[in-house]
Amino acid sequence: MSSYDIIIIGGGAAGMFAAAVLAEEASELDVLVLEKAAKPLGKVRISGGGRCNLTHACSDLREFLKSYPRGQRELIGPFHRFGPKETVEWFEAHGVPLVTLEDGCLFPQSDTSEDVIRALLSANPKIKTHSEVLRVTPSNNGFTIELKDGTLFHANKVLVATGGGEFIEGLGQPIEPCVPSLFTFNTPDKTLTSLSGIVVENVTLSAAGLKASGALLITHQGISGPAVLRLSSFGARKWAEANYQFEARINWLNNQNEEQVFEKLLAHREKSPQTKVTTWSPVGLPQRLWKMLTARAGIEEQKWVECSHKNLRRLAAQTCDYLLPVSGRNRHHEEFVTCGGISLKEIDFKTMESKRTPGLYFAGEVLDIDALTGGFNLQAAWTTGCLAARAMQQS
Ligand SMILES: Cc1cc2nc3c(=O)[nH]c(=O)nc-3n(C[C@H](O)[C@H](O)[C@H](O)COP(=O)(O)OP(=O)(O)OC[C@H]3O[C@@H](n4cnc5c(N)ncnc54)[C@H](O)[C@@H]3O)c2cc1C
């Protein structure tokens, strides 16, 4: 049986970052990465549409942490030790200059994830591909690792960075059930879906006491866009428990309230009494959406002068508190992460080591950590991979 100081299970973002740090900072250690696929870093390659949005601009870590519905508290310490700033420095020092887009997302200047992969592999970590791990069992002051084909390895320390997978169930760690995060909502509301293609720049979407703001796109099946992805993530467990059947509310004007909108409509009635209410939206909404809202308020045939206070209040209610039944979810094509995984309670976030099994470490999405879109998920993988690598170097 081959023996190693450290075996890393999973050659994804977290595992390969840990391998790179170990190869550079502790080259005297014998480290092996076991990867089940034919090549490491498969997800990094396709991330961000092949461009790899590897982190997000950060001027205030507290704000940055708000993008982690799971892991927000636990990542405070780790981000102080190796956060977005250190990530940018690391990649730039490894020949990957980065650019920050207007929305705060950071990409390689070259616009290709291949450069990120090249940097991660530059220290030549030892990788064994086509090697799916089935079992990890404590033995001889370390662990025995068994592959699907029966091959056995021994390692003094093991880092699990598989992103998920069934084999984590045998590790003796508590696990939070896995449910999807970052998805779009379906709706049976045909009046809304008939408007597919319309984008509203800044809405507030709420459900079950949770709120998210941002752009919203109406699709053939429901709603999509940043506000929807955020709400899907904030309430990932709630929506799963409800079997993705719940009521959401849309404020098409973000944080303007009904009273403010009512006042605007009244003022508009004074100004343009003879115009039809459907002609254009005095509150800046797309015309087709506005027409639908006036129809829901029962006044699409009227001129402004014909609208009573009650009519205008109904229209303000449709504008600020649109009731949307949600009847399922759809996978978001660009990014898909899982909520759930190894419970954070039994992990020491200074070292990423299990509190139950000394010598067993965890990093990346296999943990019950997940974030919004924008580079935050990869950041969690780099950070936890780095911390685990530094802790594993200590004897
Ligand atoms: C299409 C897509 C686009 C994305 N784009 C972005 C983005 O632009 N920015 C961002 O921040 N996040 C993005 N994400 C999310 C991000 O890619 C993940 O959060 C991140 O890759 C997690 O890293 P990880 O190392 O924990 O897991 P993974 O990257 O999933 O790596 C796990 C590795 O372990 C291997 N493995 C699994 N089980 C075993 C086993 N039993 N034995 C051996 N090996 C095993 C897998 O083959 C894999 O290579 C995207 C995700 C997807 C799917």
Neighbours of 383 (CB within 10 A): 29
Q: Are 288 and 258 in contact (CB under 8 A)?
A: no
Query: For the residues 260-287, what does the mean pLDDT come to?
Result: 97
Q: Quick one: pLDDT at residue 332?
A: 78
What's the mean per-residue pLDDT of the chain?
96
| 327 and 280 housed in the same domain | yes
Confidence at residue 138, expressed as pLDDT on a 0 to 100 scale = 95
Q: What is the pLDDT of residue 334?
A: 62
Output the CA 77–ligand 1 centroid distance in Å: 23
Residues 324 and 348 in one domain: no
Domain boundary, last residue among 311, 331, 351: 331
pTM over 0.85: yes
CA 389 remoteness from chain centre: 24
Nearest atom (ligand 1) to Cα of 380: 19
Pocket test for ligand 1, best of 39, 46, 47, 383 (most atoms within 8 A of CB): 47
pLDDT tens profile 156-173: 999 999 998 888 999 999
Residues 48 and 128 in one domain: yes
pLDDT value, residue 166:
87
Per the CB < 8 A criterion, the answer to whether 107 and 116 are in contact is no
b or e along 221-252 (b: 16 or more beta carbons within 10 Å of the residue's beta carbon)? bbbbbbbbbbbbbbbbbebbeeebebebebbb
Q: What is the CATH number of the domain that holds 119?
A: 3.50.50.60
Measured by CA distance, the residue closest to atom 51 of ligand 1 is 335
Measured in Å, residue 292 CA sits from the centre of ligand 1 at 42
pLDDT digits (tens, 9 = 90+) for 350-359: 999 999 999 9
Measured by CA distance, the residue closest to atom 15 of ligand 1 is: 377
For ligand 1, pick from 33, 91, 136, 335 the residue to mutate: most ligand atoms within 8 Å of CB: 335
Cα distance from N-terminal residue to C-terminal residue, the chain: 22
What pLDDT sits at residue 140?
A: 76
Which atom of ligand 1 lies closest to the CA of 34? 43
Range of the domain at 52: 2-179+337-393
Both 22 and 34 in a single domain? yes
User: Tens of pLDDT along 338-386?
Assistant: 899 999 999 999 999 999 999 999 999 999 999 999 999 999 999 999 9
- Which residue has the least CA distance to atom 37 on ligand 1? 162
336 pLDDT more than 80: no
Cα 136 to middle of ligand 1, angstroms: 21
Tell me what pLDDT residue 349 has. 98
* Claim to verify: residue 304 and residue 354 sit in the same structural domain: no
Q: Are residues 319 and 378 in the same domain?
A: no
Domain finish residue from 331, 359, 385: 331
> Do 147 and 226 fall into the same domain?
no
pLDDT digits (tens, 9 = 90+) for 172-198: 999 999 999 999 999 999 999 999 999
How far is residue 168 from each of residues 32, 105, 157, 162, 298, measured CA to CA in Å? 19, 32, 16, 9, 56
- Please indicate, yes or no, whether residues 31 and 132 belong to a single structural domain of this protein: yes
The answer to whether the CB of 44 falls within 8 A of the CB of 12 is: yes
> Is the four-CA dihedral 330, 331, 333, 337 of positive or negative sign?
positive
> What is the domain count for the chain?
2
Ligand 1, atom 5, residue with closest C-alpha: 47
Q: What is the band of 337 on the pLDDT scale with cuts at 50, 70, 90? A: confident
Same domain, 145 and 27: yes
- CA 15–ligand 1 middle distance (angstroms): 10
151 pLDDT above the threshold of 80: yes
CA 67 – CA 57 distance, rounded (Å): 12
> pLDDT of 318-330, one tens digit each?
999 999 999 999 9
Domain termination residue (choose one: 331, 352, 367): 331
CA–centroid distance, residue 93 to ligand 1 (Å): 23
Task: Answer yes or no: do 204 and 307 share one domain.
Answer: yes
pLDDT (tens digit, 9 = 90+) per residue, 44-96?
999 999 999 999 999 999 999 999 999 999 999 999 999 999 999 999 999 99
Pocket test for ligand 1, best of 162, 370, 372 (most atoms within 8 A of CB): 162
Q: Which ligand 1 atom sits closest to the C-alpha of 13?
A: 25
Q: Identify whether the C-beta of residue 35 lies closer than 8 Å to the C-beta of residue 132.
A: no
Looking at the structure, do residues 131 and 209 belong to the same domain, yes or no?
no
- Which residues sit with their C-beta closer than 6 Å to ligand 1? 9-15, 34-37, 42-43, 46-48, 52-53, 132-133, 161-163, 165, 167, 334-337, 364-366, 375-378, 381
Close Cβ partners of 125 (under 8 Å, ≥ 6 residues apart): 16, 19, 20, 22, 23, 31, 33
The residue whose C-alpha atom lies closest to atom 35 belonging to ligand 1 is 10
Whether residues 19 and 112 fall in one domain: yes
